[in-house]
Structure 1
Amino acid sequence: DPAGLAGAAPAMPVPVPRCPGVRTKLPVLGWLPRYSGAWLQLDLVAGLTVGLTVVPQALAYAEVAGLPLQYGLYSSFMGCFVYCFLGTAKDVTLGPTAIMSLLVSSYAFHEPVYAVLLAFLSGCIQLAMGLLHLGFLLDFISSPVIKGFTSAASVTISFGQVKVQSASLLSPGAGRAAEAGDAVLGLACLAALAGLRAMKSRLPRAAPVAPLAARISHLIVWTSATARNALVVLFAGLVAYSFQAMGSQPLTLTGSIPQGLPTFRLPRFSMAAPNGTVPFQTMVEDMGVGLAVVPLMGLLETVAIAKAFGTAAPGPCTRGGALQGARGFANILGSFVSSYPITGSFGRTAVNAQSGVCTPAGGLVTGALVLLSLAYLTSLFYYIPKAALAAVIVSAVLPMFDAGIFRTLWRVKRLDLVPLCVTFLLCFWEVQYGIVAGMLVSGILLLYSIARPPVKVSEGDALLVQPGSSLHFPAIEHLRDTICSRALAASPPRSVILDCCHISSIDYTVVVGLAELLRELRKHGRSLAFCGLQDPVLQVLLAAELEGFQHFPSREEAGEGLGCPRCSPQAGVPQAAAKQGSGR
């Protein structure tokens, strides 16, 4: 409880289930039987607080997606209800986000029919990934690629919100006064949001023993700072209404938003166009790579959030299980109420956690608040200035730009700057090109490290060679060239001890390469001895029945077996601990 008005939030109940398989498929059964009034109080506070955040953000993110504003609200409630029953992390909230809205803008072409169909297909793909345990595919999207994409998205979205005002202030015309008013209001809203954010970050926690008046004051300040989006939008709306009542309007307003709940129906699999009907196949072809990018990026956001915010509720919060199922069902069912693709929100999840939420039931309150807004409050949204929504967007996406990552990577590993910069720059051209190019560059760097593992070579009566990692087929030619260039170029040629203590697996191509290396050394009257072989590697080499294969438990014994008593290990080089038996 942020204000200290109640006790600490109790931990999520974890009862011992009679049917663990059922509870894994339906995580709500893990906490619902032990739900209490104390949890209800905290879930209500958290749900209302998140609801006050999600309503203005939903309107703003619909603008980013290039859709009518009501679609932001249509996308904000189904995920809350679905995650209450299928969610595994109590803090996570599903709904529209800046990243997902930018992707929808790129792949839905500002057409609601495309956006809703994209949600349906993305949900099907995410559900299939969960059933087939394909979540490991996310492991191939490296952190530099993610940072490059989110930073580019932050810049793109921010400039998209301010470019109109910037251009309008420099151009004459009858609407210049209104445009200047939008710019002034937008800057004022940005300043207010930044001030409230800073106030919240510096707000100390109220002590439970503090006077009641102090705790109530703390609660008021905390609530105002947490629900700052709603507060700023409300204030801007009152300003706009005041101008309207006085007969002048220097601000650009949101305008009419259809009132009422969306119709529950299947998404449309074709679209009427001026020159005919666009069939389903054509719509899928138009969305193209977006059918891969949107599900993967959405799932990646949710996984990252679930990892960042505490422990999961009963049931595994894994990439291959309940999390994909929750998001998949949320997008599929959301498409039935005209939702565009949704995912987990970092900002709203943080608000949920800071509000002391105990269970995913807080999402029911948030979803209900969105439904009430759609049913009764859309007429009031008419007076919300677009500049205030733009300020909400900019305030939300600016923290996504991580300027410090460039300095960190320069200090930690400069090579990782390559996929980061490639992704960052190409995302300004096309989002999909930036992500795919960044993944390709990261893949090339990964493959290079596999093909060129570090190899430590020590001189002595025999050449001591120690690969620094497992051997796979791209690396065997490099290892052979290294050994031959050092062992056979010496005068006289030397025998070789291959220390395999870091090698945990090999493949058939490596076995073939080692057989050729044995023949090459034997042709020059030299031998190759293995030491430190781990059991899986030893079994593979024994099964291959290599001619001249000999192995020893340690380097010293390998040196003695080769007749090189002075080829003892160099100082500081770790000894092989494995005891695999005598040489053959």
Structure 2
Amino acid sequence: VHPLVTVCSLATLRTCFPILTWLPRYSLAWLKMDLLAGLTVGLTVVPQALAYAEVAGLPVQYGLYSSFMGGFLYCVFGTSKDITLGPTSIMSLLCSFYVGGDPVYAVVLTLMCGLTQTAMALLRLGFLLDFISYPVVKGFTCAAAVTIGFGQFKNVLGLKNIPRQFFLQVYYMFHRLPEARVGDVILGLFCLLFLVMITVMKNTLGSSEVTPSPLVRFARSLVWSFATVRNALVVIAAACVAYSAEVMGCHLFTLTGQTAEGLPAFSPPALSETTANGTHMSFSDIILDLGGGLAVIPLMGVLESIAIAKAFGSQNNYRIDANQEIFVIGLTNVLGSFVSAYPVTGSFGRTAVNSQTGACTPAGGIVTSVVVLLSLAFLMPLFAYIPKASLAAVIICAVAPMMDFRVLPQIWRVKKLDLLPFLVTFLVSFWEVQYGIMGGVVVSVLMLLYLVARPEVKMSDHGVMVMELSSGLNFPATEYLSAFLRAHALHVSTPRCVVLDCHHVSSIDYTVVNELKDLLKQFKLHDVSLVFSRLKPCVLEVLLSSDLPGFRHGDSIEACLQIMSINAHYD
């Protein structure tokens, strides 16, 4: 027994602490690849974190506060070698709707989000995500990309005090177009042009050459390296230009401005605050103000990260533990609230960089986190000179791939009706993001319930009528099935016998049994038979124990036909 207990304990430890599955095999070769991947992702995450804080409506340092906790925790608890946790465009957009630019609200939201996600993992509630269909997810991401991307053009134009609501943004941005600052427009467009150009170059690196020359290989590596750290290059170059202009006394650009210096203090999050006008907001007041965000943000954070983890697990031939992933996201948010982070999740763009750079284990996340901490410790004074137009260019190029409307013809070919939850989610999300998601989910669930309540019935004639249920039989379908049988077998000029093929029916409930009792009586009154075919053992057991009058069944359709012929002979 003792060795068995030891094995079980080791297996449990490996499940709870996935680091134990790869750490004993860690090698110098893996270390080199993880260092390279971690450093590359670090150079990507710093400019993105600053930019995403802008999307969330928070001071830019909060983007960096949110970017380092995940690397340390995911290394110990994560089950994917590629995932990187941190601020993302979608989570930043969602936060902007609920926190109103208030860091205290953001940190409380992070804590509650983390507690909710941790509880989901411990209670194994990951199955709830199954009710959010792919068209809903795609509709939301497309709407979010349009909202985020368009919302950043105000920074490219150098406009201030533009409302956050999408339709008001559109109106005021065009209305105030003459107020655009020339310096911001030129710099923003130049940054956009550079990012697009180098991205296109990276995407066209493939060549028909089977064995390219060393020079060609070097050129490709150089382009790939520049493309990977393009965000950092753009932000650094723009900051240098802005600093030079400021030194010469020319205020050409809208700058990020002074930011808090140094590392954030590790302390329990503030659960209340006193606003500038002297109003005291208690914890309960903040919770009430956050409202639907307490449900939407944890669910969307989990959904985004799990989808990314599964995609890269499939691509790189490994499996992830969904509940463990939910747990590590929740733990990251809980501990992140102690360092003033706002809610984080898995990032698709940085995960792709991590994978393409050759990360072997989650240890690369530690290197990424160290890069972020070094930036916080030593570079914060320099971030004040970063033009907002350059950060806007970074965000626009980051969310552009999310506007993938090529999925629409694919959905149309597979199932046209699936366009409905996509369109509901997409259109309503421009009004309120949470209503868009809720609307899409409700439409998807109603479509699903309709299929349950209206199962397809295939009819064929074998001398008697054979009806095959093409899906399960549950109480919402009872009235429909009863009306169908009456209309096609009983309420006709010559009532007909029916064989009901139930090989797709895996469960049955009291409502169905009660209706079948009435149907059997009606068939008897019309002097015709209703025989059940190919019932599963669990369903047959329930029907036999229900004492249905005149209940007959067969193992096959042929057996049922034989039963009917015998009854007809005796009659």
Q: Distance in 2 between matches of 1:314 and 1:512?
A: 50
1:293 to 296, 309, 312: 296
1:150 to 141, 144, 154: 141
Q: How does 1:26-37 map to 2 (within 5 A)?
A: 26-37=17-28
1:135 maps to 126
Judged with a 3 Å threshold, the aligned counterparts in structure 2 of structure 1 residues 456 and 147 are, in CA distance, closer, same or farther, namely: same
Query: 1:310: Cα distance to partner?
Result: 2.4
| Cα-to-partner distance string for 1:264-288 (whole Å, 9 max, x where unaligned) | 0011111112243111111111111
TM-score if structure 2 supplies the norm length? 0.91
Q: Distance in 1 between matches of 2:32 and 2:383?
A: 29
CA contact (8 A) 1:27 1:313 kept: no
TM-score if structure 1 supplies the norm length? 0.89
Query: 1:301: Cα distance to partner?
Result: 0.6
Equivalent residue letter for 2:311: A
Q: Distance in 2 between matches of 1:123 and 1:413?
A: 37
2:184 maps to 182
Equivalent residue letter for 1:62: A
Equivalent residue letter for 1:281: S
Query: 1:416: Cα distance to partner?
Result: 1.1
List structure 1 segments (4+ residues) > 3 angstroms apart after TM superposition.
166-173, 204-218, 311-316
Q: Secondary structure at the match of 1:457?
A: strand
1:86 aligns with 2:77: yes
1:572 maps to none
Q: Distance in 1 between matches of 2:212 and 2:559?
A: 73
1:429 maps to 431
Query: 1:409: Cα distance to partner?
Result: 2.0
1:242 maps to 244
1:124 aligns with 2:126: no
CA contact (8 A) 1:260 1:375 kept: yes
| Cα-to-partner distance string for 1:29-80 (whole Å, 9 max, x where unaligned) | 1111221110010001100110111000000000000000100010010111
Equivalent residue letter for 2:94: L
After superposing the two structures, state which structure 1 stretch, 73-82 or 157-166, moved more.
Answer: 157-166
Q: Secondary structure at the match of 2:543?
A: helix
CA contact (8 A) 1:89 1:311 kept: no
1:19 maps to 10
2:63 maps to 72
Q: Secondary structure at the match of 1:336?
A: helix
The RMSD of aligned alpha carbons is 2.4
2:169 maps to none
Q: Secondary structure at the match of 1:383?
A: coil
Q: Distance in 2 between matches of 1:308 and 1:162?
A: 31
Equivalent residue letter for 2:140: F
1:538 aligns with 2:536: no
Q: Secondary structure at the match of 2:384?
A: helix
Equivalent residue letter for 1:520: Q
| Cα-to-partner distance string for 1:186-216 (whole Å, 9 max, x where unaligned) | 1111111111111112224999987665554
Q: Secondary structure at the match of 2:186?
A: helix
2:94 maps to 103
Q: Which one has a larger percent helix, Structure 1 or Structure 2?
A: 2
Gaps of at least 5 residues in structure 1 are 1-15, 567-584
Query: 1:168: Cα distance to partner?
Result: 7.3
Equivalent residue letter for 1:93: T
1:574 maps to none
Equivalent residue letter for 2:291: G
1:53 aligns with 2:47: no
Judged with a 3 Å threshold, the aligned counterparts in structure 2 of structure 1 residues 372 and 558 are, in CA distance, closer, same or farther, namely: same
Query: 1:311: Cα distance to partner?
Result: 5.7
Q: Distance in 2 between matches of 1:223 and 1:205?
A: 17
Q: Secondary structure at the match of 2:459?
A: strand
CA contact (8 A) 2:478 2:512 kept: yes
Q: Secondary structure at the match of 2:339?
A: coil
Judged with a 3 Å threshold, the aligned counterparts in structure 2 of structure 1 residues 254 and 147 are, in CA distance, closer, same or farther, namely: same
1:272 to 265, 271, 274: 274
CA contact (8 A) 1:87 1:323 kept: yes
1:310 aligns with 2:301: no
1:521 maps to 523
CA contact (8 A) 2:79 2:321 kept: no
Q: Secondary structure at the match of 2:81?
A: coil
CA contact (8 A) 2:40 2:228 kept: yes
CA contact (8 A) 1:88 1:314 kept: no
2:511 to 509, 512, 519: 509
Judged with a 3 Å threshold, the aligned counterparts in structure 2 of structure 1 residues 54 and 252 are, in CA distance, closer, same or farther, namely: same
1:383 maps to 385
Judged with a 3 Å threshold, the aligned counterparts in structure 2 of structure 1 residues 199 and 458 are, in CA distance, closer, same or farther, namely: same
CA contact (8 A) 2:554 2:560 kept: yes
After superposing the two structures, state which structure 1 stretch, 534-543 or 240-249, moved more.
Answer: 240-249
Q: Identity of counterpart residues, as a percentage? A: 54
1:411 aligns with 2:402: no
Judged with a 3 Å threshold, the aligned counterparts in structure 2 of structure 1 residues 478 and 256 are, in CA distance, closer, same or farther, namely: same
1:358 to 357, 360, 378: 360
1:458 aligns with 2:460: yes
Q: Secondary structure at the match of 1:260?
A: coil
Q: Secondary structure at the match of 2:500?
A: strand
2:234 maps to 232
| Cα-to-partner distance string for 1:339-359 (whole Å, 9 max, x where unaligned) | 000000000000000000000
Q: Secondary structure at the match of 1:330?
A: helix
Equivalent residue letter for 2:271: F
Q: Distance in 2 between matches of 1:281 and 1:205?
A: 60
Judged with a 3 Å threshold, the aligned counterparts in structure 2 of structure 1 residues 244 and 187 are, in CA distance, closer, same or farther, namely: same
After superposing the two structures, state which structure 1 stretch, 306-315 or 394-403, moved more.
Answer: 306-315
Q: Distance in 2 between matches of 1:462 and 1:221?
A: 73
CA contact (8 A) 1:80 1:93 kept: yes
Equivalent residue letter for 2:544: L
Q: Distance in 2 between matches of 1:60 and 1:218?
A: 28
Gaps of at least 5 residues in structure 2 are 1-6, 160-171
Q: Distance in 2 between matches of 1:271 and 1:205?
A: 59
Judged with a 3 Å threshold, the aligned counterparts in structure 2 of structure 1 residues 215 and 330 are, in CA distance, closer, same or farther, namely: same
CA contact (8 A) 1:452 1:478 kept: yes
Q: Distance in 1 between matches of 2:147 and 2:418?
A: 23
Q: Distance in 2 between matches of 1:527 and 1:297?
A: 53
